[in-house]
Amino acid sequence: MAVIGEIRKRPGLLVGIIALSIVLFLLGVAVNDQFSVLRPGHGTDAASVDGQSISYSEFSTEVSDNIKNIETQRRISLNDVMRNGVNKQTWDDMINKILMDQASQKTGVVVSDDELVSLTMTENLHPIIRQQFFGNGPVDVVGLNGWIKNINVDEKGQEPGFKRKIWNNLNKEVKKSQLQAKYSMLVLKSVGNVPKWLAEEIYVENSKTADFRYVALPYNEVNDNDIKYTDADLKEYLNKNAAKFTSTEETRRIQYLAFDVVPSSADSAATLKGLTDKLDEFTKGATKSDDSLFVKLSSETPMVDLYTLKDPALGSPKLADSLFELPLKTVIGPYVENGMYKFAKISARKMLSDSVKVKEIIYSFANVQNEADQKAKFVLIDSVLKAVDSMHTDFSTAAAAFSDDPQAKTTGGLVGWVKLSDPSRDETYKGIVFHNAEIGKAYKYLDIQNNLIKLVQVVEDKPSKLGIKMAYLTRSLAPSQETERDIYGEVTQFASNNSTEAKFKKYAADHAAQVKTASSITKESYDINQLSARALVKWVFEAKRGDVSSIKTLDDGSGVNGRKYVIAYLESVTGEGTPDLESVKDQVKLQYLREKKYELLAKKITDAKAANIDDLATKLGKTAEEADRSIFANPNIPAGMEPAVVAAGVYIAQGKVSAPIKGNKGVYAVQKITGTDPPAATDLTRPVMMAQQEAMGKIRNGDIQKALRDLSKVRDNRFNFETN
């Protein structure tokens, strides 16, 4: 009963019991290695996990490969902020892999070769493989296995081994995901045996109800300045409540000023003039081809050979309605967008269809065994394309004779009507058949996912939506060298004038609106308030409290020329374990003031010596509020989320006025009016399921990986290889 009473007083304990069960299970797995001595590093390790090393060369290669893969797949260039994200994700993945491998060895949980084959090459495809090759469309296992069979035959223009590299990476991801899923199920089974007493308590917490009335004295009724204290008082409070401020890792807090590196008005004028000098040539372009060539030679924004629809229902961005009413070849601008000056030209317009009737000649590379066969296939494709387009060979006849699709012999390659909204068709295919195809002309389409090349012909369409194709003449708004020198000179002057702790703090006090704060910076931090700040983080952990940094140049992640010069002051250092007062003074002060406010307000309630809640309200000049049908499992009252208040209202004896209660927003007293106790539980299925779902939620939120990491000794040496 003492345990149940403690749960009632502490609502967080109910969730904590489940979390503790998970940790105890993991502890049983990991405890044997807890006291092992880490092997000393040799100056080449980026990390070690319980003595198992990750070399910096291995780590940096993995980061580079991941960045390259993302840039290739998305066809973008990652900025510093994005690269930092990849760096962090790579680090987490490599650490988690070691932890999962160790856990696998200790528990016997593995992913066998046969299981991996089943998940990557059969109808039992893992979601990673399914999404990569088929998206939301139908699964073609035969086609997938044909692609795998020719995995060493790279497509034209691909780097050697490209397909095998993709496949190996996918297999690694599938194996990792499956191992984590199986281990999670093992943990879930270990915590899924919910004890009867806990199930009964959950049942009561979700069934026992009460109507009660309460009086609230908000904390803000006591002015902070009315509470007198000294640093000695704060230090004593910290010592008595050390657990509230203890940290599992070292964190640091900085104040900093960020100076924008932006173009001057003269730079903007020069950029606009350079753009305007090209305007006449841009305007004169009479055809879409003229515009495309001009943009390629003179603009920073490439021309996208697609039409934009006025109707957003088909998935295209909605432009201003006026653009669709303006004459062809109209040029609008200049205007500023995404750090650029722009002129926009209506290069072409036409009515688009939301469905078209197509034919296809399909060429499969599933049976191509060598480079010679591959070249022969390419020659055949080009010759058939030439025959259809230049020699007017009937497309259906060519499909029946040359398509690798058996049905083409009877259908002449007819696919039927294809919709623009069809999710199984990629944007390249849609760009051909909906945006740029002429009826009767054949186009080559590379279906990378299915290892196919298709010749596609539109034979009928249904134009119904107006589309326009835009060409853009753009120039980035960038500061000139002279402007950068001027800005850097101003920052240098600021750094010289505020190079000490006292001077920086005085400036910060006089210019509070300019100074920003970043708290809880760890060695694993890469970004600070959306700035790509790894170099600054390295300085933060090499500096001493009170130091002021040199000038740091940081990427703000905004895209074109998004840079800032930053000067930082290391305000506090919170070491692992119990910190010193100076490092957490603001947090300690906040908690101390709240404690003193509680004491003052609680004394008002006690001194009132009220007979009932209405008497108390009258004596305190307040109004008694009502909380109806309250349950401990949902601790809300009209004043907000107040678990301690609801617990008292539900479990106090009927008619009794409670002692002062320390709530989230103030100090309360409650009086229970009526209460309903649930009947004895005869079926505990639902509370057991609730406890299991709570555990499962923690598993899904990554608590297993966190627990494994907490039980291991992870050493991060990346700083040794980085510069600031």
Residue 370 sits in a domain whose CATH number is 3.10.50.40
Q: What ranges in 435-499 are assigned the alpha helix state H? A: 481-497
- Residues 91, 123, single domain; the answer is yes
For residue 198, being part of any structural domain is answered with no
pLDDT of residue 36: 34
Q: Which residues contact 18 (CB under 8 A, 6 or more apart)?
A: 191, 691, 694, 695, 698
pLDDT of residue 557: 67
**pLDDT class of 506 with cuts at 50, 70, 90:** very high
Planar angle of CA 40, 46, 48, nearest 5 degrees: 50
247-256, 304-313, 648-657, 686-695: which is most confident? 648-657
Per the listing, tokens 């259906």 go with 396
Is residue 1 pLDDT above 70, yes or no?
no
Instruction: Give the closest residue to 306 by CA, choosing from 177, 471, 178.
Output: 471
Instruction: Give the closest residue to 58 by CA, choosing from 69, 44, 70, 68.
Output: 44
Residue 213 Cα distances to 623, 631, 651, angstroms: 10, 14, 13
Q: Long-range CB contacts (< 8 A, 24+ apart) of 235-238?
A: 235/581, 237/588, 237/591, 237/592, 237/595, 238/578, 238/581, 238/584, 238/588
Q: Which residues contact 228 (CB under 8 A, 6 or more apart)?
A: none
Other CB atoms within 10 A of residue 463 CB:
12
- Residues 101, 236, single domain; the answer is no
Higher-confidence position of 279 and 705 = 279
Residue 330 Cα distances to 102, 174, 285, 307, angstroms: 65, 52, 11, 16
- Residues 463, 483, single domain; the answer is no
- Residues 162, 73, single domain; the answer is yes
- Residues 632, 566, single domain; the answer is no
Task: For residues 360-373, give the mean pLDDT.
Answer: 82
Write out pLDDT tens, residues 216-275.
Answer: 999 999 999 999 999 999 999 998 988 888 777 788 999 999 999 989 999 999 999 999
**pLDDT class of 186 with cuts at 50, 70, 90:** confident
- Residues 230, 121, single domain; the answer is no
The continuous run of DSSP H or E covering 589 comes out as helix 585-608
Enter the tokens of residue 623.
């109004």
Residue 400 Cα distances to 145, 383, 415, 625, angstroms: 25, 15, 13, 82
Planar angle of CA 585, 588, 590, nearest 5 degrees: 110
How far, in whole angstroms, is CA 529 from its chain's centroid? 15
For residue 212, being part of any structural domain is answered with yes
What is the pairing mode between strands 563-574 and 308-309? Answer: unpaired
For residue 199, being part of any structural domain is answered with no
How far, in whole angstroms, is CA 640 from its chain's centroid? 30
For residue 694, being part of any structural domain is answered with no
For residue 689, being part of any structural domain is answered with no
Write out pLDDT tens, residues 645-683.
Answer: 999 999 999 999 999 999 999 999 999 999 888 888 888
For residue 632, being part of any structural domain is answered with yes
Higher-confidence position of 304 and 341 = 341
Task: For residues 66-87, give the mean pLDDT.
Answer: 80
For residue 151, being part of any structural domain is answered with yes
Enter the tokens of residue 580.
């010193």
pLDDT of residue 12: 45
**How much is the pTM?**
0.60
Task: For residues 465-483, give the mean pLDDT.
Answer: 90
DSSP 8-state symbol, 374 = H
- The answer to whether residues 605 and 616 touch, using CB atoms and an 8 Å cutoff, is yes
pLDDT of residue 600: 95
Residue 240's Cβ-count burial label (10 Å; 0-12, 13-18, 19+) is: exposed
Rg, Å, the chain Cα set:
34
Higher-confidence position of 422 and 649 = 649
Measured distance CA(501)–CA(510) in Å, rounded: 14
Enter the tokens of residue 141.
């296992």
Does the CA dihedral 645-648-654-656 come out positive or negative?
Answer: negative
Domain's final residue, options 476, 507, 522: 476
For residue 429, being part of any structural domain is answered with yes
Instruction: Give the closest residue to 290 by CA, choosing from 298, 299, 282.
Output: 282
Q: Helix, strand or coil for residue 243?
A: helix
What is the pairing mode between strands 666-676 and 640-641? Answer: unpaired
Instruction: Give the closest residue to 215 by CA, choosing from 511, 535, 605, 498.
Output: 605
**Phi, psi (rounded to 5 degrees) for 193:** -85, 80
Q: How many domains does the chain have?
A: 4
Higher-confidence position of 702 and 460 = 460
- Residues 418, 562, single domain; the answer is no
- How many residues can be counted in the chain? 724
Write out pLDDT tens, residues 538-563.
Answer: 999 999 999 999 999 988 766 556 78
Could you list the beta-strand ranges (E) of 428-451: 442-447
Instruction: Give the closest residue to 363 by CA, choosing from 430, 425, 453.
Output: 453
Which structural domain, as residue segments, surrounds residue 325?
268-476
- Residues 566, 641, single domain; the answer is no
Q: Which residues contact 239 (CB under 8 A, 6 or more apart)?
A: none
Instruction: Give the closest residue to 421 by CA, choosing from 353, 466, 354, 356.
Output: 354
pLDDT of residue 34: 38
How far, in whole angstroms, is CA 621 from its chain's centroid? 50
Instruction: Give the closest residue to 679 by CA, choosing from 339, 309, 203.
Output: 203
Strand order in the sheet with 45-49: 52-55, 45-49, 714-716
**pLDDT class of 701 with cuts at 50, 70, 90:** low
- Residues 88, 156, single domain; the answer is yes
Domain's final residue, options 456, 476, 496: 476
Is residue 23 pLDDT above 60, yes or no?
no
- The answer to whether residues 598 and 211 touch, using CB atoms and an 8 Å cutoff, is no
Q: Residue 162, CB half-sphere, CA atoms under 13 Å: how many? A: 13
End-to-end CA distance of the chain: 58
Cis peptide before 334 (omega within 30 of 0): yes
- Residues 286, 343, single domain; the answer is yes
DSSP 8-state symbol, 634 = B
pLDDT of residue 315: 41
Write out pLDDT tens, residues 595-612.
Answer: 999 999 999 999 999 999
- Residues 467, 337, single domain; the answer is yes
Coarse DSSP helix, strand, coil percentages of the chain, rounded to the nearest 5 percent: 50, 20, 30
- Residues 542, 669, single domain; the answer is no
- The answer to whether residues 505 and 256 touch, using CB atoms and an 8 Å cutoff, is no
What are the residues facing 548 on neighbouring strands? 569
DSSP 8-state symbol, 666 = E
Enter the tokens of residue 46.
């980026």
Domain's final residue, options 523, 553, 577: 577
Measured distance CA(19)–CA(373) in Å, rounded: 60
